[in-house]
């Protein structure tokens, strides 16, 4: 499978995640979101950018609690919870937002 | 992302035994390994081998010799029908190949054809069939629609364990390079990184430091989550989901608070940072052993005296029933304690010894019920007497909550229904079978919600918790109605020296008055 971004064809796996993490450009997130009938606003990008920064440092997506805490610190306590994240990313912040951010899918009992 | 399109069953007062509908789930196929290393990391061929037919039969022959149980299970079925309506996946899908006997027969018909006298010479008389590519694909599809929960075996007069047949089938498939992506990728991560998530040491450290900060901020008490502490008394081995997901992490906080109040010296390990052992799901003794050895090695390296397992269903089965064979002897641990021990045994001991200051009213906003996890319920004890696996969790819940009721007696205890996501099925590509298989549990949960005012269900398994988080909304319930058992303990514990909201309000008022 592949997605078309900025005129380039980028390979994705059977679950729609980028195969080569280095292929990521912001357009990837927009195209993937459009496929899910979602338009990305600043709130979405705050999360996507945080995920990418965290991944860069730790080679894994952040735990839900780490993510909600960071969001709470930045955007106010009322937004520092998973309800807020699920409202933004209905398929789950870990899985949907990670895919948009070009991160590999978190695996395990989650 | 392709969204699965399927009808979610409607909840009724009870689940009727459905009329059979052939092949309703024939289209459901979990992703097969496409990156060869997901197989080769586990010692299997990278892709389907050319001589798969002969190799599969060789493996079947090998396994029936290795496991006497498998041979007996393949021979003993008398088609009495007792198991037929006991499987949650059959009840939710109407597909006869999801009846335990139907599932078993997929392997049994091939076994009969090649390994029994009658099947070799009079195949039609005994339902013996050739191994064809079609059969191989059916094995793959339907042995990945079994959560190995073993509810059917409770009702089988011969005690035939479909889980073992399912495990054997998966091992045959793996041995010819036809592995499932979900399980095999995860086992590879345990071998390489130390846990199912692929959570590296520094990320684990960061997560635990964050929790310690939260404890200070919320309670003013230095509750610690120690990592790799040499010479600690207790090694806690818990599913990596406890570090990552919700409500799992609330349970982890509960363990930390219990250890803190008990004054225990404990540690987590970054190399044995996973209780789960998917080696069991794929029936691979070798992989199950490799995963288990990490725990032994960590325990020896850290020099601990005890090993305690966190809330994880199949991990506790492996730990309770197989760990000594796989990675023993544990003669280097303190023999005064069971090796290993379940966190609930530990917490219950602390409660009974009066070590924990409990305020049950902290959970008064909830009415709880408890979901017995299959592997705990049907393969282990949590304590030293029969039935303790049912009593200990309930004892702890009742010690920390005022409002508790059980679900219907046919859906708890040893007759408990699977959450629908166990046994290596907790993956998005199997969402249809997961949702449909949750029907019996959702039905009984809804009944206690309606009749008894239940608001939340507690669980002691990472898979159950994640599965319910995902499937509750399909049935019109809320994802946060599933809670970790130790989350309830956590809510109720009043930490020694804890700063409460009232204290803060008072001290705020005082400092205002001073100003």
Both A59 and A96 in a single domain?
A: yes
Cβ(B203)–Cβ(A58) below 8 Å: yes
State the average pLDDT over residues B147-172. 98
Domains in chain A, number: 2
One domain for residues A28 and A50:
no
In a shared domain, residues A73 and A94: yes
State the Cα–Cα distance between residues A34 and A65, nearest whole angstrom.
27
Q: Which fold has domain B37-179?
A: Fumarate Reductase Iron-sulfur Protein; Chain B, domain 2 (1.10.1060)
Per-residue pLDDT, A82:
85
B181 contact partners, CB below 8 Å, separation of at least 6: A14, B30, B31, B32, B33, B34, B38, B427
| B197 → closest Cβ in A60, A86, A91 | A60
Q: Which residue of B has its CA nearest to A35?
A: B1
A107 within some domain: no
Q: Do A109 and B202 touch (CB under 8 A)?
A: no
**Mean pLDDT, rounded, of chain B:** 96
Average pLDDT over residues B98-122: 98
List the Cα angle B465/B268/B375 in 5-degree steps: 35
What b/e sequence results for B89-125 when a residue is b if at least 16 CB atoms lie within 10 Å of its CB, and e otherwise? Answer: bbbbbbbbbbbbbbbbbbbbbbbbbebbeebeeebee
Say yes or no: A63 and A96 in one domain: yes
Let me know whether A6 and A31 are in one domain: yes
Give the pair of three-digit tokens for residue B133.
């590519």
Rounded to whole angstroms, the Cα distance separating B211 from B206 reads: 9
Strands B341-342 and B306-309: parallel
CATH number for the domain harbouring residue A92: 1.10.10.370
Residue A19 belongs to a domain? yes
pLDDT value, residue B322: 96
CB half-sphere exposure, A77, CA atoms < 13 A: 0
Let me know whether A47 and A95 are in one domain.
yes
Are residue A59 and residue A85 in the same domain, yes or no? yes
- Residues A65 and A86 occupy one common structural domain: yes
Residue A87 in domain:
yes
Nearest to B203 among A58, A82, A99 (CB): A58
Residue A30 and residue A46 in one domain: no
A1 inside 8 A of chain B by CB: no
Average pLDDT over residues B491-509: 78
Residue among A58, A51, A63, A64 nearest A24 (CA): A51
Identify the CATH number of the domain in which residue A24 sits.
Answer: 3.30.1420.10
Contacts of A91 in chain B (CB under 8 A): 1
Per-residue pLDDT at B506: 62
Q: What pLDDT is recorded for position B2? A: 38
CB B241 within 8 A of CB B311: no
Task: Give B369's DSSP letter.
Answer: E
Annotated catalytic, A98? no
Neighbour tally for B217: CB within 10 Å: 8
Predicted pLDDT at B512: 57
Residue A108 lies in a domain: no
Work out the average pLDDT over B398-404.
Answer: 98
Is B210's CB within 8 Å of A69's CB? Answer: yes
Half-sphere exposure of B275 (CA within 13 A, CB side): 34
Contact B179, B281 (CB under 8 A): no
Region class of B237: left (phi > 0), else alpha (psi between -120 and 50), else beta: beta
- Closest alpha carbon within chain A to B195: A108
Question: Does residue A106 fall inside a structural domain?
Answer: no
Q: Tell me if A109 is assigned to some domain.
A: no
Contacts of A98 in chain B (CB under 8 A): none
Taking 70 as the pLDDT cut, the residues of chain A under it are none
Residue B509: which pLDDT band, with cuts at 50, 70 and 90? low
- pLDDT of residue B515 exceeding 70: no
For the stretch B27-52, pLDDT in tens is: 999 999 999 999 999 999 999 999 99
Q: Kindly state whether residues A46 and A90 are assigned to the same domain.
A: yes
Other C-beta atoms lying within 10 Å of the C-beta of residue B192: 11
* ipTM, interface predicted TM-score of the complex: 0.94
Tens digit of each residue's pLDDT (9 = 90 or more) over B309-355:
999 999 999 999 999 999 999 999 999 999 999 999 999 999 999 99
- pLDDT confidence of B5, banded at 50, 70, 90? confident
pLDDT of residue A95: 82
A46 and A94 both lie in a single domain? yes
Question: CATH 1.10.1060 occupies which residues in chain B?
Answer: 37-179
> Taking CB atoms and an 8 Å limit, are A107 and B200 in contact across chains?
no
Tell which residue, B245, B235, B167, has the closest CA to residue B199.
B245
Domain of residue A31, residue span: 2-35
């Amino acid at each position: 499978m592949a997605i078309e971004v900025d005129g380039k064809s980028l390979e994705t796996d059977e679950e729609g995640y980028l195969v080569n993490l280095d292929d990521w450009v912001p357009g990837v997130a927009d195209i993937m979101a459009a496929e899910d009938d979602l338009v990305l606003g600043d709130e979405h990008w705050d999360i996507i950018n945080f995920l990418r920064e965290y991944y860069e440092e730790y080679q894994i997506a952040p735990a839900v609690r780490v993510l909600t805490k960071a969001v709470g610190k930045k955007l106010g306590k009322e937004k520092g919870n998973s309800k807020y994240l699920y409202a933004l990313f209905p398929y789950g912040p870990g899985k949907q937002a990670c895919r948009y951010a070009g991160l590999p899918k978190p695996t395990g009992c989650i | 992302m392709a969204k699965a399109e399927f009808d979610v069953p409607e909840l009724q007062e009870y689940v009727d035994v459905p009329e059979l509908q052939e092949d309703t789930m024939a289209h459901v196929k979990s992703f097969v390994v496409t990156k060869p290393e997901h197989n080769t990391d586990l010692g299997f061929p990278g892709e389907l081998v050319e001589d798969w037919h002969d190799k599969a039969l060789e493996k079947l022959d090998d396994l029936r010799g290795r496991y006497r149980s498998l041979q007996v299970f393949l021979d003993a079925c008398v088609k009495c029908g007792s198991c037929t309506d006991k499987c949650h996946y059959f009840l939710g899908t109407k597909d006869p190949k999801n009846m335990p006997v139907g599932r078993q027969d997929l392997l049994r018909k091939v076994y009969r054809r090649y390994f029994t006298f009658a099947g070799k010479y009079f195949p039609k008389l005994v339902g013996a069939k050739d191994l064809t590519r079609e059969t191989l694909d059916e094995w793959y599809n339907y042995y990945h629609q079994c959560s190995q929960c073993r509810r059917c075996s409770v009702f089988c007069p011969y005690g035939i364990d479909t889980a073992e047949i399912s495990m054997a089938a998966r091992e045959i498939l793996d041995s010819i390079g036809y592995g499932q992506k979900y399980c095999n990728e995860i086992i590879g991560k345990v071998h390489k990184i130390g846990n199912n998530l692929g959570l590296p040491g520094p990320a684990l450290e960061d997560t635990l430091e964050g929790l310690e900060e939260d404890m200070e901020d919320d309670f003013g008490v230095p509750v610690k989550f120690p990592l790799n502490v040499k010479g600690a008394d207790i090694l806690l081995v818990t599913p990596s989901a406890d570090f990552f997901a919700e409500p799992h992490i609330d349970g982890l906080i509960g363990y930390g608070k219990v250890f803190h109040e008990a004054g225990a010296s404990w540690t987590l390990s970054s190399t044995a940072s996973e209780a789960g052992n998917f080696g069991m799901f794929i029936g691979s003794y070798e992989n199950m052993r490799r995963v288990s050895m990490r725990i032994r090695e960590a325990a020896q390296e850290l020099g601990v005296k005890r090993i305690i397992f966190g809330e994880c269903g199949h991990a506790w089965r492996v730990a309770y029933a197989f760990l000594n064979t796989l990675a023993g002897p544990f003669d280097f641990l303190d023999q005064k304690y069971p090796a290993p021990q379940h966190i609930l045994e530990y917490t219950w001991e602390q409660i009974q010894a009066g070590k924990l200051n409990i305020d049950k009213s902290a959970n008064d906003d909830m009415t709880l019920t408890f979901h017995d996890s299959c592997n705990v319920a049907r393969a282990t004890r949590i304590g030293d007497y029969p039935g303790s696996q049912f009593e200990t969790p309930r004892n702890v819940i009742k010690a920390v909550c005022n409002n508790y009721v059980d679900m219907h007696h046919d859906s708890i205890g040893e007759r408990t229904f699977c959450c629908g996501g166990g046994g290596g099925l907790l993956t998005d590509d199997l969402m249809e079978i997961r949702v449909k298989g949750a029907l019996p549990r959702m039905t009984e949960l809804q009944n206690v919600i309606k009749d008894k005012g239940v608001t939340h269900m507690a669980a002691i398994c990472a898979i159950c918790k994640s599965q319910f988080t995902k499937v509750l909304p399909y049935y019109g319930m809320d994802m946060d109605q599933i809670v970790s058992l130790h989350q309830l303990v956590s809510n109720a514990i009043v930490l020694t020296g804890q700063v409460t909201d009232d204290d803060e309000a008072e001290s705020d008022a005082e400092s205002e008055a001073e100003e």
